[in-house]
Amino acid sequence: MEIKIIEAAPDQRKPRPEPDKLGFGRYFTDHMFCMKYKEGKGWYDPVIEPYHQLTLDPTAMCLHYGQEVFEGLKAYRGPAGEVYLFRPQENIRRMNVSAARLCMAQIDESIFFEALKKLVALDCDWIPQEKGSSLYIRPTLIATEAALGVRPAEEYLFFIITGPVGAYYAQGFSPTRIYVSEEYVRAAPGGTGAVKAAGNYAASLYASRIATDMGYTQVLWLDALEKRYVEEVGTSNIFFLIGDELITPPLGGTILPGVTRDSVISLAGRLGIKVVQRPLTIDEVVSALEEGTLTESFASGTAAIISPVGHIFYRGKEYAINGGKTGDLSEKLFNEMLQIQYGMKDDPFGWRVRVL
Ligand SMILES: *Cc1c(COP(=O)(O)O)cnc(C)c1O
């Protein structure tokens, strides 16, 4: 299948945002990729065309029964102007795992990859040059069949949009303040916590609002069954440095298998750090904080790479980690990852994919 390209006319092109006012998720480029699916026909009409609004029937099944999955990755500009994707095959595979979990059509991996490369190449002058900024890429799959009734849809739309985003830490690291939720949970065993399904995020908003109202940045999620085991923070994976071990919860079906999580595990190992994937209770975290053996914690995800945790609130008490400041290991892992992603350092794991 050949991807058709319809370039935006001059009057369809958007004004460029100021590089220092990008923020996250506010600006999108001139083009998008679209491809349709119909049961019996398969995928058809792959096209890169001007960014446009979607037309959906009010009964489009994604609007009623939540068949919607997405991905998030970035394109990075290297020192000589070259452009890289970071482990895109991981996102492609994960999107299909998500789709399968929601009984949605699988996307051919090679056309997905082609679409990513061609779209980024076409809108490459939208990729910001400034240090730490990048082009965020949002592949999305929605059920478009017009019908009510709970069952897997027979028609889908796969689209990819991209947009320039600013450096997450333009003003330097600012460690987050996290709130341990005991009342609400993100994902239960057997549920959809291990996939990037849109409904997971809707379900997380209420606890996030409680955390924000309490003066915290994000929720630290505990397991649904016992409310004892630490799982994730906000929409990121979580790591704790206790003694000389970097500990992260194992992927047991309720945790999103983050590409950044996996990369941090490999990278930390290569730096000679002992990385352990094992269940970790909130009680163990609190006693390690009280004993002073827990010296660093950070969240990992595509948006921020590494987001240091400065404070944890649990059962009416606030605990500081490393005096609320970013730890050395967090900073080192952040810098190492960033340098690999931006092509400033050699790439021992072969993670980078050069697009231009
Ligand atoms: C996307 C996401 C992550 C991080 O995944 P990356 O591939 O590292 O960006 C972690 N947890 C949740 C719930 C997520 O949605």
**Residue 237's closest CA among 212, 254, 224, 225?**
254
Determine contact, residues 222/282, Cβ cutoff 8 Å. Answer: yes
Q: Tell me, what's the pLDDT at 240?
A: 98
Q: What is the DSSP letter of 289?
A: H
Pairing type for strands 245-248 and 274-277 reads parallel
Q: Which domain holds residue 336?
A: 176-341
Same domain, 297 and 200: yes
Residue 235 beta carbon below 6 angstroms from any ligand 1 atom: yes
Residue 181 beta carbon below 6 angstroms from any ligand 1 atom: no
Residue 123 beta carbon below 6 angstroms from any ligand 1 atom: no
The alpha carbon of 250 and the centre of ligand 1 are apart by a number of angstroms equal to 14
CA distances from 17 to 75, 171, 239 (A): 17, 19, 35
Mean pLDDT in the chain? 97
Same domain, 39 and 147: yes
What tokens does 327 get? 């730890």
Residue 87 beta carbon below 6 angstroms from any ligand 1 atom: no
Q: Residue 200: helix, strand or coil by DSSP? A: helix
Q: Tell me, what's the pLDDT at 131?
A: 85
Ranges of residues in the chain with a pLDDT under 50 are none
b/e code 177-205 from CB counts within 10 Å (16+ = b): bbbbbeebbbbeeebbbbbbbbebeebbe
Work out how many domains the chain is built from and give that number: 2
Q: Is residue 41 part of a domain?
A: yes
The alpha carbon of 15 and the centre of ligand 1 are apart by a number of angstroms equal to 31
Same domain, 139 and 206: no
Q: Tell me, what's the pLDDT at 230?
A: 98
We report the CATH number of the domain holding residue 335 as 3.20.10.10
- Reported as a single tens digit per residue, the pLDDT across 22-67 is 999 999 999 999 999 999 999 999 999 999 999 999 999 999 999 9
Query: Nearest 5°: phi and psi at 283?
Result: -65, -40
What tokens does 272 get? 């000679």
Number of neighbours of residue 269 by Cβ within 10 angstroms: 12
Q: Is residue 349 part of a domain?
A: no
